[in-house]
Structure formats: C-alpha cells, structure tokens
Amino acid sequence: MIPPRRQLLRLLAGAAALPALTRIAGAQAYPSRPVHIVVGLPPGLTPDIGARLIAQSLSQRLGQQFIVDNKPGGASNLATELVVRAAPDGYTLLLTVAGNAIEAPLYTNLNFDFLRDIVAVASIGRTPFVMVVPPSLPAHTVAEFIAYAKANPGKINFGSPGSGSANHVFVELFRMMTGVNLVHVPYRSSMLPDLLAGRIQLLFAAIPGVLADIRAGKLRALAVTTTTRVTALPDVPAMREFVPGYEASGWLGIGAPKATPDAIIKTLNQDVGATLADPTVKTRLTGLGIEPISMRPEAFGKFIAGDVDKWAKVVKFAGIKPE
C-alpha cells in the first residue's frame, strides 16, 4: 500500500535529517576511535616526550587511545602538511612547537599556510632557553658579554643545529636588539664538545641539555631567555634585566586542521587543561624543562600569530635562508 502524502513527506524529512543527526552524534561521542598526534621531530626529544605525557593522560581521560606518530623531516613541515591534509574530524592532531612559528616566514614555497590551515587547540607549555658561554670567555654578565663582543666584532662564534633553528634565531634576536657582531656556526651534530672546549664561545640552549654542565661549572650561564627567572636556575637573571623587551622561548601545544568542529576543540582544550593541572603531570613536564601553561584556543591562536610576526622580523633582519 502506498502511504498517504503527508506520511511520505514526514518519512522523507526524517531520512534527510539522519546525516545531520549522525554528525551531531559523532561530535558528541568524540572520540569514538584512536586519535593520532603527529610530531615533526624524532622520538626521545623533549617535545616528543611531552607529547607522550599528554597523550597518555588524554587516553585515560577520554577513554580512547591517543597515539604519538613521529614524522620528522623537512624542518617539521612534512608533519604539518600531513595534518593540514587530514580530515578535520579531531582524529589527526599536530604537536605545534615554536619551530612552526619560525618556519612560517622562513619557508615561503610550502603547500600550506601554517596560520591559515592549522587551528590552535590548546597550549601545553614553554621551554626556557639559557645563554651559556665557556668559563674561558671573560664575561660574567650579559652586560660584560655585550661590551666584550663590541670590542671584538666578528670574533665570537655561536653554534646552532642549523639555520632557522630556535637556537639560531634566539641569538639573532639578541644580536638585533644589542647590535653585536657574532658569527653563526651551524652543526650537524652536538655543539657541546666545541663549546666546552672554547672553540665556539656562545650557545642559546634549552635548559635541560646544559643544566648538568652549568651546575658542574663547565659552562657559565649568563641569562635565561624568558621574561622572568626560572625555577631550575633561580640565581640566573632573565635576559630582559639587561636587554629590555627581550623574550624568546620554546613552546609546544596542540593544533588541528582548519574546520575542525568547535565542540571537538573545546573538548580537547578542556582535557589538556585538566591534564596540565594534574600535579603528577605538572611535575613530570617541569622535570623535562617544560613549564606548563594553559590557554584557551583563542588566546593560544593570538599567541602563535604574534610569535610568527616576531620571528618574521628576525628572519628578515638576519637574512636567514632555509637550508
């Protein structure tokens, strides 16, 4: 029997609404399957370990596996592009780091725009760096270092893992703000042996990598690069105590493809925030040299945009080109 016209219209309307209801239910049920966090760095580095701590906690909180996928290469741009091209459904996320903000103005021929194509989800924390010199260098403060560098232009070498790395651009910002003439020496392997031997005279390094040598007196810490002093080195001044306005930190957070539903972003932001408030997680992150910082998506997005703008000016000043 053919149903009456009114009943047929109701059936058609109900059928049309099913896809929308399914999408809503899918968003409400998020996550209903494993979530992948793509990391553009090799396993074992500080950001990777931080990502794994967050992934472990999110797995417990949300009842689904959060899996860290390491996709190093192309100065982390391979990982970013993989996430940019993923479905915006919350199941492929990106560990965003300070390097993304540096690379955005440095690599101008990419198939994506970091600010346009990745949406900020949640911040995780910042990684303070420290300005270190060998004891043989006759400078015990930043002011003495600046005076010595100006008296010896082009005679102080500083190391980094390569052009455009955080270690590189943090020094270039210092150079831009103080007017000192320093020589960049990029390394493919560890710079520490040459620094300890005095063959290079300066390094801006993440604190965990040089903390033991500072405490042993093998390196002299002149300043931390954050706006305030840090717990790991309470007696070391902040750079802006000598160079007003200076600030440079590594940072990490979570990003997602643009058009990811707001409900999913809100869920992730809340649970990352709750994770950062957990005393055990906070202690473990701090032990890695990561100072936990929680931000709402909008605030984190503004922070990233500001960082991109800052490093674009430094890249232009220093004439940095991608390797």
Residues 309 and 102: their CA atoms lie apart, in Å, by 9
As a residue count, the chain comes to 323
293 φ, ψ to 5°?
Answer: -140, 125
Per-residue pLDDT, 23: 41
Residues 45 and 302: their CA atoms lie apart, in Å, by 26
Burial class of 108 by CB neighbour count within 10 A (0 to 12, 13 to 18, 19+): exposed
pTM, to two decimals: 0.87
Return the bridge partners of 126, or none: 251, 291
The H-or-E segment that residue 213 falls in is: helix 207-215
Contacts of 124 (CB under 8 A, 6+ apart): 50, 54, 251, 252, 253, 254, 272, 276, 285, 290, 292, 293
Least Cα distance to 227 among 209, 210, 242 occurs for 242
Tally of CA atoms within 13 A in the half-sphere of 107 that contains its CB: 22
Please tell me if the domain spanning 33-126+250-318 has the same topology as the one spanning 128-241. Answer: yes
- 281 token code pair: 């997680």
CATH 1.10.10.10 fits 33-126+250-318, yes or no: no
> For the structural domain made of 128-241, what CATH number should be given?
3.40.190.10
- 9 token code pair: 């219209």
Per-residue pLDDT, 246: 97
Burial class of 211 by CB neighbour count within 10 A (0 to 12, 13 to 18, 19+): middle
Q: So where are the chain's domains?
A: 33-126+250-318, 128-241
Residues 82 and 267: their CA atoms lie apart, in Å, by 23
What 3-state class would DSSP assign to 279? helix
Query: Tens place of pLDDT for every residue, the chain, 323 residues?
Result: 444 545 534 544 444 444 444 344 444 589 999 999 999 999 998 999 999 999 999 999 999 999 999 999 888 899 999 999 999 999 999 999 999 999 999 998 899 999 999 999 999 999 999 999 999 999 999 999 999 999 999 999 999 999 999 999 999 999 999 999 999 999 988 899 999 999 999 999 999 999 999 999 999 999 999 999 998 999 999 999 999 999 999 999 999 999 999 999 999 999 999 999 999 999 999 999 999 999 999 999 999 999 999 999 999 999 999 87
Per-residue pLDDT, 28: 59
Per-residue pLDDT, 19: 42
- 86 token code pair: 């993923």
